Amino acid sequence: MKSMQLSVKGASCASCVKKIETALINTNGVSSAQMNFADRTVSVEGVASPESLIKAIEAIGYKASLNAAQSNHLFEQEQQDQKYYNLLIRKTYIALALGVPLMLYGVLGGNMQVSTDLDRIVWLVIGLLTLMVMVYSGRHFYLGAWKSFVHHSANMDTLIALGTGTSWLYSMAIVIAPTIFPEMAKHVYFEATAMILGLLNLGLALELRARGKTSQAIKRLIGLQPKTATVIRHNESLEINIEDVVAGDRVKVRPGEKVAVDGIVVEGSSFVDESMLTGEPIPINKEVDDEVVAGTINKSGMIIFKALRVGKDTALARIIELVKQAQNSKPSIGRLADVISSYFVPTVMIIAILSALLWLNFGPEPVVVYAVISATTVLIIACPCALGLATPMSVMVGVGKAAESGVLIRNGEALQTSSKITTMVVDKTGTITEGMPKMTDFIVVNGMAREMALQLAASLESSSEHPLAEAIVTTAKAQGIKLVDINGFTSITGLGVKGGCDDKKLLLGNHRLMSEQQIDVSAHQETVQALASQAKTVMYFAINGEMAALIAVADPVKDDSKSALSRLQGDGIRIVMLTGDNPQTAKAVADSVGISEYLAEVLPEDKADKVRMLQAQGEVVGMTGDGINDAPALALADVGFAIGSGTDIAMESADVTLMRSSLHGLADAIAISKATLRNIKQNLFAAFIYNIAGIPVAAGLLYPFSGILLSPVIAGAAMAFSSLTVVSNANRLRLFKPMD
C-alpha cells in the first residue's frame, strides 16, 4: 500500500470532485481517493500505478500529473519568485519612468507650482498619469492596506498607501482648487508619489532576490536527494522514482551514484562520501551490515543495500525538516523587535498626525506644505519590515550555514545560548576518544619476528569475546594478517587466555597470569609503566614459556580532539572533562588534549550533578556527549550537544547535533552561533537606526536647529533599502568560515 498525490487540471466546479474521486476508486488497486478542490490535488492510496491513475482521470476529461516531489516544489517556488520579481521590476520601471523626469525637472528649477490655468491643465494631466502609475505600480500596496484596514490591522502597505495617497491627494487638491491654498503652498508632489512607488517596488524586488539566497543551504540539502533509484525486484534491475521505493527493497548503487534512501549494505563494499551530511571530508568504508544514508555518494565499488527508511523517514528528510523548523524559529534577542513591530504601524500613524499638528501650530509659512511633507515623510520612512526581518533573516542563514558544516541546531534559542557558553563539559569516551579500544602498541621482545607473533596472538584472541581481544584481532586483520587455527583454547577468568598452535604453547594475559605461570617479565617493567602512564592497558604474550611481546590497548584520542578543544579554549571557554574511567586514564587523556580540569570515575547521573553545580556558579554550561548515557546531563545543560549521532533519535532531542564525530563540529557550532548573534545585533542596530533616528528627522526635529527637513523621496529610498540592508547583511553570513 502506498500513497500518491496527483495534480489535476480542468476541475472547475465542486461536482468535478465527486466525478474524479469515483473514477479513481473504480480503478484497480485503489483503496481510497480524496480530492482537495482548493489546491486541485487528489490523494490516492493503494497499489495502482501512477500511469493507470492518470489514465483514469484523463478518460473523464481532465488532465493529471503525478504531484511534484519536494525538489520540484522548490523549483516551482523559484519560478514563482522569478515571476513576481519580474512583475516588481516592471512596476518599478513604470513608476520611475514618470517619477525620474518629474523630479529632475523640479531639481533643475522647473516650475512645480500651480499658478496659471495652463499650469492647472498640465499638472492635471500629470496628476492623472500619476494616478495610472498608482493603479499599476501601487495597486498591491493599496489593496493590502485596505484589506488590512477592514480587518482592523495595519502593515507596511498601510504606511505606503497613506504616505503616497496623502501627497497625491494634496497635489490634486491644489490642481483642482488652487484658490483655497495660499500662494506659497501651491507646490505639487506628484513626482514624490511616483518616485516612492518606484523605489519601494525596486526595494521589494531586490529583497526577494536576497531572500532567495538565504535559503540556499536548505535548497542544497533538498538537492542531495536523488530523483530515481535502481531497485532489484524479482531478480531484475528497475530504475524507479524515489517515491516508489519501499522499505525492504534491494537498492543497487553504482560508483558515482547517490544513495537513494537509508538502508543496510547486504552485498559489496565501497567508500561512501558522507561529507554533504556530516562535513567529514574523508569517504567512509562501507561493508556488509554497515548503514548507508540517503544523499551520500558512492565513490568506488558497487553496493547493494536493503532499504530501511524511505520518504520522510530518511535521515536526510528529517534533517531537512529540522533545519527548516529551526530556520523559522526566533531567539529571544528578537523579542523586543517583535513587540515593537506589533504596535509599530498605528504608532507611526499617530506620530505622523502629531507631527502635522505641530507644524500647523508652530511651523513657518506655508504651514500646510510643511505639515503635509512631514506627515508624508514620517509615514514613508518608517519601516516595520527591517525591524521584523532583522532576526529571522540572520537565523535562517546561520542555521543553514551550520547545517552545511554538519551541525544541526534545533532552534533559534539554542543558537543564541550557544554563543554565550562559558563552560563546556565534555564526556571522554566516544567524544574526546574514539570510543572503541584499539591496539596501539605491539612490542616484540627476545628477538621474536613481529608478524608471526602478532599472527599467533591475534589467532589466540580470536576465540575470546573480551573487548581488548577484539581490538587485537581487528588490528591484525587490518594489517593483512591471516589467522591460524588454535587448539586447546582456554579462557582463564580475570587473567587471560591460553592455547596452542602446532608445537607452540601460547599464553596471553595480565601480569598475574605471567606470575602464576612463572614467566619472568621483570625486564620489561619500565616499558610497561611508560605505556600505562599513557592510559594504555598492557598485556603480555608468551610463547613456550618465554616472553614474546608486550601488547598495549587503548581507546585512542581522536586525532583532532586537541586542536578542536584549543579552539574552544582560545574563545575563552572553560573545558571540564568527565569520565567513568579510572583517574590514571583520565589524567593521561586530559593531559594529551590540554585539559586541566577533569573528574574521573563519574557515574552518568553524577554528570548531571556536575552540570548543575557549574550552573549554580553562574556558568552558562554546554554539555557534549554521545546522546545516550549522557542524556540527563545533556538535558540539564543550557545547551546539549549530541555528537556523531545524526541518524538516531538524539537528533530530535538534543539542542545541537554534531553530525560528524570530530569535536571541531562543536567548535564550529559555537563559532557559527557567535557569528549569527553578531549579525542579528548588527541587523537590529540598522533597523532601529532607520526607524528611531529616521522618524524624528522625518517629523522635522532637526529643522529648528539646522533647517533640515527630509524629502519624502529620500524617505522612500530609505524605507526601500532598509529591508535590503538587513537581508544583505544576513547574507554576509553565508561567507563565514568557522575555522577562520
Active-site amino acid positions: 427
Residue 659 to residue 645: CA distance in whole angstroms: 6
Among 94, 102, 157, 168, binds other proteins (CB under 8 A): 157
Range in contact with other proteins (rule: CB under 8 A) among 207-215, 221-229, 285-293, 670-678? 207-215
Distance CA 274, CA 283 (A): 6
Query: 154 or 589, CB closer to other proteins?
Result: 154
Collapsing DSSP states into helix, strand and coil, what is residue 316?
A: helix
Taking CB under 8 A as the rule, does residue 80 contact other proteins?
yes
201 binds other proteins, rule: CB under 8 A = no
**E strands of 132-290, at which residues?**
228-233, 236-241, 250-253, 262-267, 270-273, 284-286
533 is a site residue for other proteins (CB under 8 A): no
Any contact of residue 275 with other proteins (CB under 8 A)? no
Is there binding between residue 332 and other proteins (CB under 8 A)?
Answer: no
CA dist 606 to 68, 637, 650, 654, Å? 51, 13, 20, 19
Among the residue ranges 80-88, 94-102, 573-581, 629-637, the one whose residues contact other proteins (CB under 8 A)? 80-88
- Report CA torsion sign: 120, 126, 130, 136: positive
Residue 279 touching other proteins (CB under 8 A): no
Residue 143 near other proteins by CB under 8 A:
yes
Minimum distance from CB of 682 to other proteins (Å)? 18
Helix (H) or strand (E) holding 503: none
Least Cα distance to 424 among 603, 570, 601 occurs for 570
Query: Per rule CB under 8 A, is residue 39 in the interface with other proteins?
Result: yes
The answer to the question of residue 546 lying near other proteins (CB under 8 A) is no
Among 36, 82, 116, 544, binds other proteins (CB under 8 A): 36
3-class secondary-structure state, position 347: helix
> Cβ 654 to other proteins, closest distance in Å?
16
Burial (Cβ within 10 Å: 0-12, 13-18, ≥19) of residue 98: buried
SS (H, E, C) 108-157: CCCCCECCCHHHHHHHHHHHHHHHHHHHHHHHHHHHHHHHHHHCCCCCHH
- Out of 328, 446, 515, 533, the only residue in the binding site for other proteins (CB under 8 A) is 328
Q: How many CA atoms lie within 13 A of 426 on its CB side?
A: 34
Position among 91, 106, 160, 207 found at the interface with other proteins (CB under 8 A): 207
Considering only the stretches 380-388, 452-460, 493-501, 604-612, report the one whose residues sit in contact with other proteins under the rule CB under 8 A: 380-388
387 forms part of the interface with other proteins (CB under 8 A)? yes
Site string for other proteins, 408-447 (x = CB under 8 A): ---x------------------------------------
Q: How far is CA 78 from CA 65, 85, 215, 243, 727, in A?
A: 20, 10, 11, 22, 18
Q: What are phi and psi of 410, to 5 degrees?
A: -70, -40
Contact between 482 and other proteins by CB under 8 A: the answer reads: no
**In this chain, which stretch among 111-119, 323-331, 419-427, 583-591 interacts with other proteins, using CB under 8 A?**
323-331
Q: Measuring CA to CA, which residue among 442, 409, 434 is closest to residue 674?
A: 409
CB of 461 to other proteins, least distance (A): 52
Question: Considering the complex, what minimum distance in angstroms separates the CB of residue 176 from other proteins?
Answer: 20
Strands of the sheet with 597-599, listed across from one edge: 407-409, 656-658, 639-643, 621-625, 423-427, 574-578, 597-599
The residue ranges that bind other proteins (CB under 8 A) are 36, 38-39, 73, 76-77, 80-81, 84, 140, 143-145, 147-149, 151-157, 204, 207-208, 211, 324-325, 328-330, 338, 341-343, 345-346, 349-350, 353-354, 356-357, 360-361, 384-385, 387-389, 392, 411
